């Protein structure tokens, strides 16, 4: 997951988490530990500290425990190994619970077995975008046009991403595999350099974060061909999904980033269900929902069982994609 995904998701986390907690979880005055799998001073850390201050009167002390490193794996492992007493919760994301188990050669936790899923909070789609001038020059105005051009000109198209194993890279590999085309992947050191490369015409297309790409789409600098979610985004309602635009070959295509809450395996279902219920209420509050949709995020608030099934499905989905990409971290 790149830094811009983290920035967006961190702002969403504070909004929703602030509405989910209650004094019932501050057992006998003991603090609640919220594990942040990124370093101090980063966007999620800053938001988490603001959250702790915001809820101290209703919840009690919330201690932010930074566990950065290994693409979020160290923080996730800390949650997996915590006592299942309701005093430790953590953040699950596409990287920590769907991609990293296949990307990293060694994993210290089992994403499918070592956690008690609570709820998926949001799903944030990417968007398939082209440099507007390049799209006009090549006559590419839709996903169907892109596929037709790639098949007629094998190897001539390229796409950028924020790095090997990033959300944009894996979405691109999934797209290539399903569409039956070839395009050269050019990795950059982060999402911002990748978008700058697209804007300057160094690459032909990207799978970019919707929230950060939207201003350039509206300014006419980028042409949005499709969003990667299963449904259209309220932020770009006129842009079809990849599945809608790509025909039978891209049926079922979905490559969004998601964000949710979990606890260590064995945590009481009373606690898990209570947090889920309060999170779902927060997600449906008009002000919260409006903010989420404005940022291109699709709110969820599903049940623990539904979230568990989703994590299982995401693990299965990304395994062949990571393998086909050739990305690996030792």
Are 46 and 66 in the same domain?
yes
CA dist 20 and 274 (Å) reads 9
Same-domain status, 131 and 245: yes
Contacts of 81 (CB under 8 A, 6+ apart): 109, 114, 264
Same-domain status, 237 and 273: no
Q: Is residue 175 situated within a structural domain? A: yes
Q: Which domain holds residue 191?
A: 126-250
Please give the Cα distance from 176 to 324 (Å, whole number): 10
For residue 128, give the 3-state DSSP assignment. strand
Asked if residue 270 and residue 235 are part of one domain, the reply reads no
pLDDT tens for the chain, residues 1 to 330: 555 555 555 555 555 555 554 444 545 568 878 887 777 775 455 445 644 554 455 556 778 888 878 888 999 999 999 999 888 988 888 889 999 999 999 999 999 999 999 988 888 889 999 999 999 999 999 999 999 999 999 989 999 998 888 889 999 999 999 999 999 999 998 888 999 999 999 999 999 988 789 899 999 999 999 999 988 988 899 999 999 999 889 999 999 888 888 999 999 998 888 778 877 877 787 876 777 777 677 888 899 999 999 999 999 999 999 998 988 887
Of 250, 265, 299, at which residue does a domain stop? 250
Q: Looking at the structure, do residues 198 and 285 belong to the same domain, yes or no? A: no
Residue 201 and residue 110 share a domain: no
Cβ contact 76:92 at 8 Å: yes
Residues comprising the chain, all counted: 330
**Number of structural domains the chain divides into:** 2
Count CB-CB contacts under 10 A for residue 238: 6
234 occurs within a structural domain = yes
Same domain assignment for residues 77 and 15: yes
The CA distance from 316 to 185, in Å, is 23
CATH code where residue 68 lies: 3.40.190.150
Quick one: 321 and 237 in the same domain?
A: no
Which long-range CB contacts under 8 A does 135-144 form with residues at least 24 apart?
135/223, 138/204, 140/223, 140/225, 141/223, 142/225, 142/245, 143/225, 143/226, 143/240, 143/242, 143/245, 143/246, 143/250, 144/245, 144/246, 144/247
Q: What are phi and psi of 65, to 5 degrees?
A: -115, 100
Which CATH number does the domain housing residue 215 bear? Answer: 3.40.190.10
Is position 330 within any domain?
Answer: no
What is the per-residue pLDDT for 23?
46
Same domain? For 134 and 189 the reply is yes
Q: Do 91 and 11 fall within a single domain? A: yes
């Amino acid at each position: 997951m790149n830094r811009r995904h983290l920035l967006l998701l961190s702002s969403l986390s504070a909004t929703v988490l602030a509405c989910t907690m209650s004094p019932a979880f501050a057992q006998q005055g003991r603090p609640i530990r919220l594990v942040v799998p990124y370093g101090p001073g980063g966007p999620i850390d800053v938001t988490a500290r603001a959250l702790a201050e915001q809820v101290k009167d209703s919840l009690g002390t919330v201690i932010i425990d930074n566990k950065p490193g290994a693409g979020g794996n160290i923080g996730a492992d800390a949650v997996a190994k915590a006592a299942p007493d309701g005093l430790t919760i953590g953040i699950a994301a596409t990287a920590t619970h769907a991609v990293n188990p296949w990307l990293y050669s060694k994993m210290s936790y089992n994403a499918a077995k070592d956690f008690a899923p609570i709820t998926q909070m949001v799903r944030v789609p990417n968007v398939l975008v082209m440099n507007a001038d390049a799209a006009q020059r090549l006559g590419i105005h839709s996903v169907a046009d892109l596929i037709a051009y790639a098949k007629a000109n094998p190897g001539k198209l390229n796409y950028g991403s924020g790095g090997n194993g990033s959300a944009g890279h894996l979405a691109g590999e999934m797209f290539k595999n399903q569409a039956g085309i070839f395009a050269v992947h050019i990795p950059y050191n982060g999402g911002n350099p990748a978008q700058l490369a697209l804007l300057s015409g160094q690459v032909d297309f990207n799978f970019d974060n919707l929230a950060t790409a939207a201003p350039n789409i509206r300014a006419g600098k980028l042409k949005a061909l499709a969003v990667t979610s299963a449904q259209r985004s309220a932020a770009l309602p006129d842009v079809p999904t990849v599945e809608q635009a790509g025909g039978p070959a891209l049926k079922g295509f979905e490559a969004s980033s998601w964000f949710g809450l979990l606890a260590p395996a064995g945590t009481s279902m009373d606690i898990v269900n209570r947090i889920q219920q309060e999170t779902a209420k927060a997600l449906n509050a008009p002000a919260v929902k409006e903010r989420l949709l404005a940022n291109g995020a699709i709110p969820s608030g599903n049940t623990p069982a539904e979230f568990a099934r989703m994590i299982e499905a995401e693990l299965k989905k990304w395994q062949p994609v990571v393998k086909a990409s050739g990305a690996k971290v030792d």
